[in-house]
Amino acid sequence: MSKITVLLADDHAIVREGTRELLERTPDLWVVAEAGDGAEAVRLALELKPQVVVMDVAMPVMNGIEATRQIKVHAPSIAVLIFTAYDEDPYVFSLLQAGAAGYLLKNARGQELIHAIRAVAAGESVLHPLVARRVIDRLSQGAAPAGVAPGESPLSEREHEVLSLAARGMSNKEIGGALYISPRTVQVHLANVFAKLQVGSRTEAVMLAVRNRWLEPDNLDRGDGFG
């Protein structure tokens, strides 16, 4: 079995130790290194090229926001999963803008973390449900006022369906099942969505679609976040 390589970045050694122990009990995950600050996380990420970096926000030397930004600039194929106790809006939006693929709070269960790592490694985006709802609410405040016609979406009807289901937290497999298409076809549709909207992740695509009222916030489930 091919293992997903993971770098842990957290300034608390006991948190890293506990997380590493959890992940190393999972056959398909392999923790390749640990970093105690943001600068070390960037250095190790660029040196080791893990598939996923599990990143805290508040760290010495360099915070998680800047570390995420630098990793995504120099190694865009690496997925950064934020794993933190901070859920304040400035942190959330700064990290999503920096290129984080997922945002999980530390009150999540161990299996949720494992699922999130697998998801971002597969190119999906994951947001903690509370964070996802706040992102949608925040974006809806900047959407066009009620009664104002939204701009014409560049997406096809099928692409819109796929993005709408992705915004409800569904995986490629679940979207494929709902639409009676293969997960590979779902992946192709999402790639087309990203190209048309000039974004790099599901989260960015959903944010843009809500802002332009191509997706209506009230129609999105309060599920697992952007899948």
Every domain of the chain and the residues it spans: 4-123, 135-219
Confirm whether pTM is higher than 0.75: no
Cα-to-chain-centroid distance, residue 206? 12
What topology is assigned to 4-123 in CATH? Rossmann fold (3.40.50)
Per-residue pLDDT of 208-219, as tens digits, reads 787 777 876 555
Q: Look at the domain 135-219 and name its fold.
A: Arc Repressor Mutant, subunit A (1.10.10)
What count of other Cβ atoms lies within 10 Å of the Cβ of residue 98?
A: 19
What pLDDT digit, counting tens, does each position of 59-78 carry? 999 999 999 999 988 998 89
Give me 116's structure tokens.
């999130």
Q: What is the pLDDT of residues 44-56, one digit of tens each?
A: 999 999 999 999 9
User: Does pLDDT of 186 surpass 70?
Assistant: yes
C-alpha 130/C-alpha 51 separation (Å) is: 26
